[in-house]
Amino acid sequence: MSFFFIQMSDPQFGMFASRDAAPSDGSFPETELFEKAIAAANRLRPAFVVITGDLVQVPTDERQHEELTRIAGLLDEDIPLKLAPGNADLGNTPTDESLSRFRNKFGRDYYSFDHENSHFTVVNSCLAFDPSEVPSEWEAELTFLKEDLAAAGESKHRILFMHHPLFGDDPTEADNHMSIPQDQRKELLNLAHETTVTAVFAGHWHRPHEVNDGDLMMVITGAVGYPISGGSGLRIVKVYDDRLEHEYFSMDTIPDTVSL
Ligand SMILES: [Fe+2]
């Protein structure tokens, strides 16, 4: 059996404006980019679309939220849309307030689902990045992840989606703003290896990047929205029983069809 899904990340409505790169009429440069991404999904018909966080730049800004949800609503209703929170959505240090706001708007911030032969787990990586204000939330998430992945042993693949990468260059790299800090990284990496997770798909960098830790693939996808480098785009991931194949496409190079 084989299928494919589309990963998008960081549509982040309002980021162009935050960088003084938006027109003065208040329109969002993110609009055209996210519309192209959703149109591509409607054309290609993936098993599902996942957006790995940073949905908007300012989570209390209703215009940003409305434009995000307007365009997300253009996705054909028979293509499931899965969301993860990012640091722009929850803050670099999540709080009870920022978690409640996200959950009220979007629903669960960590959960799992199955498709055909594979198990997919959406991780709230912001709790792992800095659990200092909500330590019990991080503990609860870690308990969920351990139980969830332990119960998914029969799946061909266990695949994680999260905003922050576990690491960017080396699994032992020092703490930095670009990946999960060492203490929580070790917990998640050990769990991923123990349960033979195939791949982690993340965002946060606004540029595509790939690295491995043994058999574990750590894949970073560029932004739908404001690009740091590599162009705004999305990733197509093909899932086969024995392997994954994936490729990042900038918005103007997305193929017309996907063959498995
Ligand atoms: Fe971002």
Q: What is the mean pLDDT of residues 134-145?
A: 98
Q: How far is the CA of 33 from the centre of ligand 1 (A)?
A: 15
Q: What is the mean pLDDT of residues 182-204?
A: 98
Q: How far is the CA of 80 from the centre of ligand 1 (A)?
A: 22
Is pLDDT of 1 > 90? no
What global pTM score does this model have? 0.98
pLDDT in tens, 15-73: 999 999 999 999 999 999 999 999 999 999 999 999 999 999 999 999 999 999 999 99
How many other CB atoms are found less than 10 A from the CB of residue 2? 13
Q: How far is the CA of 197 from the centre of ligand 1 (A)?
A: 25
Q: How far is the CA of 50 from the centre of ligand 1 (A)?
A: 15
Q: How far is the CA of 239 from the centre of ligand 1 (A)?
A: 26
Q: How far is the CA of 19 from the centre of ligand 1 (A)?
A: 12
Q: What is the mean pLDDT of residues 118-138?
A: 98
Q: What is the mean pLDDT of residues 184-211?
A: 98
- Give the domain ranges of the chain: 2-239
Q: How far is the CA of 89 from the centre of ligand 1 (A)?
A: 9
pLDDT score recorded for residue 67: 98
pLDDT band at residue 90, thresholds of 50, 70 and 90?
very high
Written in H, E and C, the secondary structure of the chain is CEEEEEEECCCCECHHHHCCCCCCCCCCHHHHHHHHHHHHHHHHCCCCEEEECCCECCCCCHHHHHHHHHHHCCCCCCCCEEEECCHHHHCCCCCHHHHHHHHHHHCCCCEEEEECCEEEEECCHHHHHCCCCCHHHHHHHHHHHHHHHHCCCCCCEEEEECCCCCCCCCCCCCCCCCCCCHHHHHHHHHHHHHCCCCEEEECCCCCCEEEEECCEEEEECCCCCCCCCCCCEEEEEEEECCEEEEEEEEHHHCCCCCCC
Is pLDDT of 252 > 90? yes
Is pLDDT of 2 > 90? yes
**CA torsion 64→65→69→72, rounded to 10°?**
60
Is pLDDT of 115 > 90? yes
The CATH number of domain 2-239 is 3.60.21.10: yes
Q: How far is the CA of 2 from the centre of ligand 1 (A)?
A: 31
Contacts of 183 (CB under 8 A, 6+ apart): none
Answer yes or no: are the C-beta atoms of 101 and 55 closer than 8 Å.
no
Is pLDDT of 239 > 90? yes
Give the Cα separation of 59 and 55 in Å (integer): 8
Mean pLDDT (the chain) is 97
Q: What is the mean pLDDT of residues 113-127?
A: 97
Length in residues, the chain: 260
Residue for token pair 């330590």 = 135
Give the Cα separation of 100 and 107 in Å (integer): 9
